[in-house]
Chain A
Amino acid sequence: MARILYLLTFLLATTPVFAQHLFELKKGVVEFISDAPLEVITARSKKLNGILDLSKKQFAFKVELRSFDGFNNAMQKGHFNENYMESNTYPQAVFKGKIIEDIDPEHKGTITVRAKGKFIVHGVEQERIIPVTLKIGDNHSISVSGKFSVMLVDHNIKIPKVVIEKLSPEIWVTVTGVLTEKD
Chain B
Amino acid sequence: MPLAKQFWIEEEYTALKVNRLSINHQSYIFLATDKGVYRFNGAKFSLVRSSIKSPVTALAASGDQLWLGYKNGLLGMLGEDSVIPFKLPEPYQNAEIRCLLPQEDGALWIGTDNGLYLYRDKQVQYFSTDKGLSDNFIYQIIRSSNGHIWLATDYGVNELIPDNKTFRIRQYRTKDILGDDIVSAMAQLNESELLLGAEKGKLARINIHNGQLSPVTLPAQVSGQILDLLVLNNKEIWFSTLDAALWRLDRLGEDSFAAQQMTSPQRTIYTLLADKSGNIWAGGQLGLSMLSNRYLESIPLAPPYRLSDVTALAIDQHNHYWIALGKALYCFGQEGKVQKVKTFPSKVSVLHYDKEMGLWLGTSANGVWLKSNESNAFEQPAVFEHKNDGILSISTLPGRLWVAGLSGLHTYKVHKEKITKIQLLKDQESISGEYIYKLAAGKPHSLWMATDGSGISFFKQDKSTNWASLGAEQENVIYSLAISGSNAWAAGMANNIYHLAGDQWQLFKSSEAGHTITGLNVNGSGQLIAGYQNCIDLWYPEQRLYRHISIHSGMNIDSFSHILNTGATDQEGNVYIPYNRGLLFFKNQEQAFDIRPDVVIRAAFANSEPLHASATSLAAGDYLLNFYYDGISYTNPENLHYRYRLEGYNDEWIYTKDMDAVFPKLKWGNYKFRVQVSLSADFSQAKEAVYSFSIATPLIYHKWFLALLALSLIGLTFFIVKWRERRMKRIAQLKEEKLNFEFEYLKSQVNPHFLFNSLNTLTGLIEDDQKSAVLYTERLSDLYRHSIVSYGKDKASLAEEIELLYAYIYIQEARFGKALQIDIEVTEAQQDKYFLPVMALQLVVENAIKHNVVSHLQPLVVKVFVDNEVLTVVNKINLKISKAAHGGIGLENIERRYKMLSGLTMEYGAVDNCWIVKLPLLK
Please tell me which one of the listed residues A116, A127, A129, A154 contacts residue B17 in the complex, with CB atoms under 8 A apart: A154
Chain A, 93-111, contact with B by CB distance < 8 Å: what is the 0/1 string? Answer: 0000000100000000000
Chain A residues within 8 Å of B225, by CB: 129
Q: Does A62 contact B (CB under 8 A)?
A: no
Cβ of B113 and Cβ of A129 under 8 Å apart?
no
- Known A100-B154, A116-B182, A154-B17: A129·B285 in contact at CB below 8 Å: no
A27 contacts chain B at the CB level, 8 A cutoff: no
Assess whether A114 is interfacial by the CB under 8 Å rule.
yes
**Chain A: which residue is nearest B155 at the CB level?**
A100
Across the interface, do B113 and A100 meet the contact criterion of CB distance under 8 Å? no
- Is A163 located at the chain interface by the 8 A CB criterion? no
Known: A100-B182, A114-B199, A151-B285. Contact between A127 and B15, CB under 8 A? Answer: no
8 A Cβ contacts from A150-174 to B? 151, 153-154
Chain A residues near B154 (CB-CB < 8 A): 100, 116
The 8 A CB mask of B152-177 against A (1 = contact, 0 = none) is 00100000000000000000000000
Interface of B, secondary structure class, is loop
Q: Which residues of B contact A116 (CB under 8 A)?
A: 137, 154, 182
B192 shortest CB reach to chain A, Å = 30
Nearest to B13 among chain A residues (CB) is A161
How long is the Cα–Cα vector from A151 to B244 in the complex, in angstroms? 13
Contact check, B182 vs A153: say whether CB atoms are below 8 A apart. no
| Bound: A151/B182 CA distance, A | 23
Q: Is the CB of A127 within 8 A of B113?
A: yes
Tally B residues with Cβ within 8 Å of A. 11
* Distance, CA A153 to CA B33, complexed state (A): 13
How far apart sit A79 and B113, CA to CA, in the bound complex (Å)? 35
Docked pose: A151 CA to B286 CA in angstroms = 12
Does B598 make an interface contact (CB < 8 A)?
no
Q: In the complex, A153→B137 CA distance in Å? A: 24
The interface residues of chain B lying within 8 Å CB-to-CB of A129 are 182, 199, 225
Residue of A nearest to B180 (CB): A100
B98 closest partner in A (C-beta): A127
B228 contacts chain A at the CB level, 8 A cutoff: no
Q: Does B434 contact A (CB under 8 A)?
A: no
> How far does the alpha carbon of A134 sit from the alpha carbon of B225 in the complex, in Å?
21
B185 CB to closest chain A CB, in angstroms?
13
Nearest Cβ on chain A to B586's Cβ, whole angstroms: 37
**Contact among B15, B96, B113, B199 for A153, CB-based, below 8 A:** B15
A127–B227 alpha-carbon span in the complex (Å)? 13
B181 interface hit (Cβ, 8 Å): yes
Q: Chain B, 7-36, contact with A by CB distance < 8 Å: what is the 0/1 string? A: 000000001010000000000000000000
Q: Which of A115-154 contact B (CB under 8 A)?
A: 116, 127, 129, 151, 153-154
Assembly CA distance A114 to B15 (angstroms): 29
In the complex, the chain B residue whose C-beta lies closest to that of A100 is B182
CA distance A166 to B285 in the complex (A): 21
User: Cβ of A100: which chain B residues have Cβ within 8 Å of it?
Assistant: 154, 181-182
Give complex CA distance A64, B285 in Å: 28
Find out whether the CB atom of A153 lies under 8 angstroms from the CB atom of B181: no
Question: CA A23 – CA B182 in complex, angstroms?
Answer: 25
A127 CA to B242 CA, complexed, in Å: 12
A116 to B225, CA, bound (A): 12
Complex Cα–Cα for A114 and B179 (A) = 13
Give the Cβ gap from B406 to chain A, nearest Cβ, in Å: 58
Cβ contacts under 8 Å, B199 to chain A: 114, 129
Query: In the complex, how many angstroms separate the beta carbon of B163 from the nearest chain A beta carbon?
Result: 30
Q: Shortest distance in angstroms between A5's beta carbon and chain B's nearest beta carbon? A: 30
User: Which residues on B sit within 8 Å (CB–CB) of A114?
Assistant: 182, 199
* Nearest CB in chain B: distance from A103 CB, A: 15
C-alpha spacing A116/B182, complex, angstroms: 10
Q: Which A residue sits closest to B55, measured CB to CB?
A: A124
Distance of A59 Cα from B913 Cα, bound (Å) = 139
- A residues less than 8 Å from B15 (CB atoms): 153
A141 to chain B, nearest CB (A): 28
Residue of chain A at shortest CB distance from B242: A129
Nearest-Cβ distance from residue B151 to partner chain A, whole angstroms: 17
Residues of A within 8 A of B137 (CB): 116
Smallest Cβ-Cβ distance to A156: which chain B residue: B34
A177 CB to closest chain B CB (Å) equals 24
- A129: nearest chain-B partner, CB-CB: B199
Among residues 84 to 99 in chain A, which have CB atoms less than 8 Å away from a CB atom of chain B? none
Q: When chains A and B are docked, how far (Å) is the Cα of A127 from the Cα of B98?
A: 11
- Chain A residues positioned under 8 Å from B181 (CB to CB): 100
Contact residues in A for B285 (Cβ distance below 8 Å): 151, 153
Chain B contacts for A154, CB-based, 8 A: 17
Complex: A27 Cα to B182 Cα, angstroms: 31
CA distance in complex: A80, B181 (Å): 39
Closest to A101 in B: B181
Bound together, the chains give a CA A151 to CA B267 distance in angstroms of: 11
Least CB separation from A154: chain B residue: B17
User: B96 — which chain A residues lie within 8 A by C-beta?
Assistant: 127
Q: How far is the CB of B444 from chain A (nearest CB, A)?
A: 62
Q: How far is the CB of A109 from chain B (nearest CB, A)?
A: 20
Bound-complex Cα distance A127 to B199 (A): 13
When chains A and B are docked, how far (Å) is the Cα of A129 from the Cα of B181?
13
A178 to B395, CA, bound (A): 76
Cα distance A116–B17 in the bound complex, in angstroms = 21
Q: How far is the CB of B14 from chain A (nearest CB, A)?
A: 10
Complex CA gap A30/B96 in Å reads 28
**Complex: A111 Cα to B407 Cα, angstroms:** 79
Closest-CB distance, B897 to chain A (whole angstroms): 110
> Whole-angstrom distance from the CB of A84 to the nearest CB of chain B?
17
Q: How far is the CB of B73 from chain A (nearest CB, A)?
A: 12
Complex Cα distance A154/B285, Å?
Answer: 9
Shortest beta-carbon distance, B61 to chain A, in Å? 24
| Contact flags B126-152 to A (C-beta < 8 A → 1, else 0) | 000000000001000000000000000
CB contacts under 8 Å to B, within A35-87, are none
Q: Given the complex, which residues of B lie within 8 Å of A151, measured CB to CB?
A: 285
B401 to chain A, nearest CB (A): 59
Q: How far is it, in angstroms, between the C-alpha of A20 and the C-alpha of B407 when the chains are bound?
A: 97
Please give the distance in Å from A160's CB to the nearest CB on chain B.
13
Complex CA distance for A114 and B180, rounded to whole angstroms: 11
Q: How far is the CA of A154 from the CA of B242 in the complex (A)?
A: 14
Q: Mark B573-588, 1 if CB is under 8 A from A, else 0.
A: 0000000000000000
CB-CB < 8 A to A127: which residues of B? 96, 113
User: Which residue of the partner chain B has the closest CB to A153?
Assistant: B15
List B57-106 residues whose CB lies under 8 Å from chain A: 96
> Which residue of A has the minimal Cβ distance to B199?
A129
In the assembled complex, the Cα of A116 lies from the Cα of B135 at a distance in Å of: 13
Residue of B nearest to A169 (CB): B15
A124 to chain B, nearest CB (A): 9
Question: Considering the chains assembled together, what is the distance between the CA atoms of A150 and B810 in angstroms?
Answer: 141
Alpha-carbon distance A153/B34, docked complex (angstroms) = 11
A153 to B17, CA, bound (A): 9
CB distance from A95 to the nearest CB of B (A): 15
- In the assembled complex, the Cα of A45 lies from the Cα of B268 at a distance in Å of 29
Q: With CB as the reference atom, state the residue of chain A lying closest to B225.
A: A129
- Could you tell me the distance in whole angstroms from the C-beta of A13 to the nearest C-beta in chain B? 31
Q: How many whole Å from A88's CB to the nearest CB in chain B?
A: 22
A151 CA to B284 CA in the complex, in Å?
13
Complex Cα distance, B96 from A129, in Å, reads: 16
Q: How far is the CA of A87 from the CA of B181 in the complex (A)?
A: 37
CA distance A129 to B184 in the complex (A): 11
Considering only residues 867-886 of chain B, those with a C-beta below 8 Å from chain A are: none
Q: Enumerate chain A interface residues (CB-CB to B < 8 A).
A: 100, 114, 116, 127, 129, 151, 153-154
Task: Give 5 closest A-B pairs by Cβ, nearest first.
Answer: A153-B15, A129-B199, A100-B182, A129-B225, A116-B154
Name 9 interchain pairs, CB-CB below 8 A, sorted by A: A100-B154, A100-B182, A114-B182, A114-B199, A116-B182, A129-B182, A153-B15, A153-B17, A153-B285
Residues of B participating in the A interface, judged by any CB pair closer than 8 Å: 15, 17, 96, 113, 137, 154, 181-182, 199, 225, 285
Known pairs A100-B154, A151-B285. 15 more at Cβ < 8 A?
Answer: A100-B181, A100-B182, A114-B182, A114-B199, A116-B137, A116-B154, A116-B182, A127-B96, A127-B113, A129-B182, A129-B199, A153-B15, A153-B17, A153-B285, A154-B17
